[in-house]
């Protein structure tokens, strides 16, 4: 299978922004194993800003644009250093691709991104993608920024005609209500269509360091659905769940791709 896995800051880092070593080691081990089993993988990883905050010892995620961009520039190195080191232990080679909205919107540029990704997969390398936060800014105009990696991973999944997009989050999936507030909330295992009722289940952004939340995940599901690609939201706190997921077990919430 060709699988795009998106991992969020809340999975990769502790609340203060420092690397969650145990979690990331386990994640790289499981992903390496899935590659060894013959799957093609692309990792879309957040965490640049969060890790930059940790490495620079800042009190929190900067709210100003230069602060965020500088933190991303520091954190992106840390992120790739970590992936390079951990995947190398399992003899896998990582490749960094940093994208802006223009790279995926402009047909010529997006064709080049597609060709590079195909070539990397043919080389059996593991592309690790993030938004190019150090240069993509809201200030130049919203058009230059994707802004969050849930949508970016969905765009990438469509670009490479992936079989599956997996969003690893700090929650098990989509619930009938906010499970932090409502004890009666239950996990929705399968979403066939993204109705206004489903959209109404999305709250705001989830954590202090990341920028996602359920709303951006549903936006991602809308993008993959149109391309006929299934998307699963699963809990990144247990990377081994990926084995169960690929064995066909009901894990998290699966958003079915429209038959195309």
Q: Which residues in this chain contact ligand GLU in the complex, by CB under 6 A?
A: 8-9, 46-50, 72, 130-131, 133, 148-149, 210-212
Closer of 145 and 253 to ligand GLU (Cβ): 145
Closer of 61 and 254 to ligand GLU (Cβ): 61
Closer of 18 and 118 to ligand GLU (Cβ): 18
Closer of 32 and 151 to ligand GLU (Cβ): 151
- Identify the sign of the CA torsion 110, 74, 35, 249: negative
Enter the tokens of residue 189.
């295992």
Q: How many CB atoms lie within 10 A of CB 166?
A: 28
* Residue indicated by tokens 């499970």: 179
Q: How far is the CB of 102 from ligand GLU (least distance, A)?
A: 16
Q: How far is the CB of 132 from ligand GLU (least distance, A)?
A: 9
Q: How far is the CB of 216 from ligand GLU (least distance, A)?
A: 7
The answer for residues whose C-beta is within 8 angstroms of residue 36's C-beta and 6 or more apart is 90
248 phi-psi bin (left φ>0, alpha ψ -120 to 50, beta other): left
Across-strand partners of 175? 187
Closer of 127 and 212 to ligand GLU (Cβ): 212
Enter the tokens of residue 122.
């043919």
The answer for residues whose C-beta is within 8 angstroms of residue 32's C-beta and 6 or more apart is 87, 89, 90, 91, 92
Nearest CA to 131 among 84, 79, 87?
79
Q: How many CB atoms lie within 10 A of CB 80?
A: 18
Distance CA 61, CA 7 (A): 18
Closer of 124 and 138 to ligand GLU (Cβ): 138
């Amino acid at each position: 299978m060709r699988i795009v896995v998106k991992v969020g800051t809340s999975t990769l880092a502790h609340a203060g922004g420092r690397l969650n070593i145990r979690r990331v080691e386990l994640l790289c081990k499981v992903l390496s194993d899935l590659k060894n089993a013959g799957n093609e993988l692309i990792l879309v990883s957040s965490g640049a800003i969060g890790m930059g905050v940790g490495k620079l010892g800042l009190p929190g995620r900067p709210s100003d644009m230069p602060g965020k961009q500088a933190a991303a520039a520091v954190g992106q190195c840390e992120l790739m250093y970590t992936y390079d080191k951990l995947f190398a232990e399992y003899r896998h080679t990582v490749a960094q691709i940093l994208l802006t909205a223009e790279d995926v919107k402009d047909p010529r540029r997006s064709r080049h991104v597609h060709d590079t990704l195909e070539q990397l997969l043919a080389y059996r390398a593991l592309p690790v993608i993030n938004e190019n936060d150090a240069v993509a800014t809201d200030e130049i105009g919203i058009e230059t920024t994707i802004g969050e990696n849930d949508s970016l991973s969905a765009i990438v999944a469509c670009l490479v005609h992936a079989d599956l997009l997996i969003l690893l989050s700090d929650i098990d999936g989509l619930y009938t209500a906010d499970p932090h507030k409502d004890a009666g909330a239950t996990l929705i295992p399968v979403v066939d269509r993204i109705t206004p009722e489903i959209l109404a289940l999305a709250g705001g952004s989830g954590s202090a360091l990341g920028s996602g939340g359920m709303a951006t995940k549903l936006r991602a599901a809308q993008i993959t659905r149109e391309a006929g690609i299934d998307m699963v939201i699963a809990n990144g706190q247990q990377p081994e769940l990926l084995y169960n997921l690929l064995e066909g077990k009901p894990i998290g919430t699966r958003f079915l791709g429209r038959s195309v």
